[in-house]
Amino acid sequence: MRALNRSLLLSLILTCVSVLPGMRAETLPGPGLIRAADNRIFAQQLVEHLMAENADLLGVGLHAIPPNGTDYVIVAQVRDIIGTKSSAADLEIIQRDETRIYPDMLGDLPRMKALAPLRDRSGRIIGLAALSFKRGPSADKLAIHQRLQAILAELSALIPDQAALFQPRS
């Protein structure tokens, strides 16, 4: 019994020590991932700008190939999943140059998810934009498509080229 109490106490201490001050264990990103708050690149600045300016958004994520990288990954996000490799479905959207809009759930929260190629100022595809919109009576696929197109146009006007996504914040 005493050995069990010691191992339980040791486990509890190690859990507490491994959590950064002010953070709960469940808020820490997974191994190899970056916290959104620690992401100091222009792409993250764009995500934060979109979230601040668009009350109908629940989330924004940008996928691209990092400098010296070979795979598409999430390079900016509101959640702490930066560095996650893009899925096959994400890559298909980029390769086919298509848009997908569909109802989805984020935990208990209903949303409309919109995925589309991310373009630079010249119109060249440089990645993927993943946006989650609040669901409601005025959030049908056509309305979401129109909002998505406006946001994508704003984004592309702000991005001179793919390398700009990885520049330090201004």
Helix (H) or strand (E) holding 52: helix 42-53
| Distance between CA atoms of residues 136 and 112, nearest Å | 9
Question: What pTM does this model have?
Answer: 0.80
Closest CA to 47 of 149, 155, 127: 155
User: Residue written as tokens 């980029």?
Assistant: 94
Query: What is the dotted CATH code of the domain comprising 29-166?
Result: 3.30.450.40
Other CB atoms within 10 A of residue 3 CB: 7
Predicted confidence pLDDT, tens digits, the chain (170 residues): 444 444 433 333 333 333 323 333 334 466 778 887 887 899 999 999 999 999 999 999 999 999 999 999 999 999 889 999 999 999 999 999 999 999 998 888 899 999 999 999 999 999 999 999 999 877 889 999 999 999 999 999 999 999 999 999 87
Q: Where are the domains of the chain?
A: 29-166
Q: How far apart are CA 50 and CA 42, in angstroms?
A: 12
